[in-house]
C-alpha cells in the first residue's frame, strides 16, 4: 500500500503564517510541520526568514516552491509529515492540488484587497484568476471553507461568490 503525507489543512491566507494560524490551527489539527508553499516567498530571503522564525514552539516551518511541495508529497520518505500547507492565493492552491495533493476541503482565511480585486466577504477579496481557481475547486467537489480559526462557524465561499454574481 502506497502511503502519502497526511495533509491536515490546505489554507489560503495572504498573510501566510501569523498568530491565529500558529496558536489555533496547528494545535487543533496536531500538525508536525507547517509548509508555506509559495514561489514568491521562496525567492525572498527576508520573508522566508521571518516565516521560519514565526513558527510555534515545537513545530518546524519550511518555505518551499509549489514544485517542491508536489515532489515531497509524492516522496514516501516524507509520509511521516502531518503538515498544514499555507499558500498566499487560490492559484497556488490549485497548482498544489493539480499536482496530486488530496484534499476534500480548502480553508480560506484572508485574501488582501488590492486594485485588481473585489471584496467578497469582510476578509476576502478576489480577482478573475482567483474566481477561476475557486470554480475549479467547486467543480471537483472540494468545499470552500471560510474560517479564521477552527472553532469559528464554517461559511461556504461559493455561496458568497454566487451572491456577489461572480460565478
pLDDT, one tens digit per residue, over 79-124 is: 999 999 999 999 999 999 999 999 999 999 999 999 999 999 999 9
Count of alpha carbons within 13 Å of 55, Cβ hemisphere only?
A: 21
| pTM, entire model | 0.93
Cβ atoms 158, 134 nearer than 8 A:
yes
DSSP 30: T
Looking at the domain 9-163, which fold is it?
A: Fructose Permease (3.40.35)
pLDDT in tens, 125-166: 999 999 999 999 999 999 999 999 899 999 999 999 999 999
Helix axes 90-98, 66-73, angle to 10 degrees: 30
Which amino acids are annotated catalytic?
18
Amino acid at each position: 500500500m502506497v502511503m502519502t503525507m497526511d495533509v491536515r489543512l490546505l489554507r489560503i491566507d495572504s498573510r501566510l503564517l501569523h498568530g491565529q494560524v500558529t496558536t489555533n490551527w496547528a494545535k487543533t489539527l496536531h500538525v508536525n510541520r507547517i509548509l508555506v508553499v509559495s514561489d514568491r516567498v521562496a525567492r525572498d530571503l527576508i520573508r522566508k526568514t521571518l516565516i521560519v522564525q514565526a513558527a510555534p514552539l515545537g513545530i518546524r516551518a519550511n518555505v518551499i516552491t509549489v514544485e517542491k511541495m508536489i515532489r515531497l508529497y509524492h516522496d514516501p520518505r516524507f509520509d511521516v509529515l502531518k503538515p498544514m500547507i499555507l499558500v498566499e492565493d487560490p492559484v497556488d492552491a490549485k497548482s498544489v492540488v493539480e499536482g496530486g495533493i488530496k484534499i476534500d476541503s480548502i480553508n480560506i482565511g484572508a485574501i488582501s484587497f488590492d486594485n485588481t480585486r473585489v471584496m467578497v466577504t469582510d476578509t476576502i477579496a478576489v480577482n478573475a484568476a482567483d474566481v477561476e481557481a475557486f470554480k475549479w475547486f467547486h467543480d471537483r467537489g472540494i468545499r470552500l471553507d471560510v474560517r479564521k480559526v477552527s472553532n469559528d462557524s464554517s461559511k461556504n465561499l461559493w455561496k458568497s461568490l454566487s451572491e456577489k454574481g461572480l460565478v
